Structure 1
């Protein structure tokens, strides 16, 4: 069900809107023609890498590894393995050699869960990140507005939303690639954050964020580097028949 928000919170005066997390996804999906979910570290970056290889991704709500694996297999989709394993997983670096034609079930508590939430809304769903920011912006413009940007954020141990700088930067990069679009202050200021981080060096900034430091500490620094590669991808993964598939600007 769409979140019950006051009219002042709905950003209806603007063609490009931004709101965070699950509630933001529900709100924007109810009112926008296209919704872009942004989870830079790491779901949407992983989707971009996989789809760029000619694969397709099933976004799965996170309900524990056993449930996700069972769902994927029941749909005839290859389940992702654990992040610490050697096979395809939520790590973007695990997908750089993914064979074309693979259909991969990819669960995550943030990006994938938000994609699954938007999927039943009727809005066009695109998975955006830094790697495909300009391609995503062009694909969203081709659909028409309003355009909703949803930085996914992360989760505190208790399950509440943790605002994640990297997702604000990804959403800001997409907003910045929408010249002439009337952005809400929320979207406009995300674009300003992106401009500042871009000037400082995206790889440096991402590695210094809380999420980036966590990945580096766990031995996944290569994933941060892949995520920071601005506009290296021309695909804008779009949900078609339940799977995120290649779309181009």
Structure 2
């Protein structure tokens, strides 16, 4: 069952941070709980959906067309009329909806962690404090995984927005590794400058603004606006 793990190795720090797929695999092997952070937009979309009492089935982009149960609504294109990876499209999602949500980064990390038995939480700026509190309650080492983006050759590209989301979670935790400490410091600087302005100035933020998704950036920047804690249970991310 989720959270049932072999005895953990003695680690130098109780809170660690590593990037991307490789980081997720590394931390899931050692940590009791792993927090996946994909601010623009998977984790923010999941937070909005779960806050509406929906359940989210993470789908890697390669699995976007795989069959899903008949009671599961499949998210469509971002510019489509229905629910999508756009957080703004989920603000009116009916309670009880079961939503299949494809994502190239956040959902891929969820799949990597889910296979290990570690408790999996989805974190972002909106729910950073709530997720940090839930992670502490699990007990044992905590891993934070900012998703990043992918270059055309499938190598990882660091994404500033994910560093800030990971830093917001790390800032609410103690016994941090140097990597987690640095993310927390970056978050503090961005918070002082204004998270909305900083997110809008990132590469991903500028792309979303140019495509007409300013509302998604605004939703993503709403620090601690949510108390939802999305946790993977029976294949779905649901509120704890």
| Corresponding pairs, count | 232
Per the TM alignment, residue 173 of structure 1 is displaced from its structure 2 partner at its CA by 0.3
Q: Out of 227, 230, 233, which is 1:234 matched to?
A: 227
Q: Out of 126, 130, 134, which is 2:129 matched to?
A: 134
Matched, 1:105 2:104: no
Q: Out of 163, 169, 180, which is 1:187 matched to?
A: 180
Per the TM alignment, residue 51 of structure 1 is displaced from its structure 2 partner at its CA by 0.3
Q: How does 1:7-156 map to 2 (within 5 A)?
A: 12-63=11-62, 67-72=63-68, 74=69, 76-156=71-151
In 2, distance between residues paired with 1:209 and 1:11? 37
Question: TM-score scaled to structure 2, two decimals?
Answer: 0.94
Runs of 4+ in 1 over 6 A off after TM superposition: none
Matched, 1:165 2:160: yes
Per the TM alignment, residue 11 of structure 1 is displaced from its structure 2 partner at its CA by 9.9
Q: Out of 170, 182, 193, which is 1:175 matched to?
A: 170
In 2, distance between residues paired with 1:58 and 1:116? 10
Per the TM alignment, residue 155 of structure 1 is displaced from its structure 2 partner at its CA by 1.2
Residue 4 (structure 1) aligns with: none
Query: Pairwise CA RMSD of aligned residues?
Result: 1.3
Per the alignment, in what secondary structure is the counterpart of residue 71 of structure 1? coil
Contact 1:16 1:147 in 2 (8 A): yes
Per the TM alignment, residue 75 of structure 1 is displaced from its structure 2 partner at its CA by 6.4
Residue 196 (structure 1) aligns with: 189
In 1, distance between residues paired with 2:16 and 2:158? 17
Residue 236 (structure 2) aligns with: 243
Question: TM-score scaled to structure 1, two decimals?
Answer: 0.91
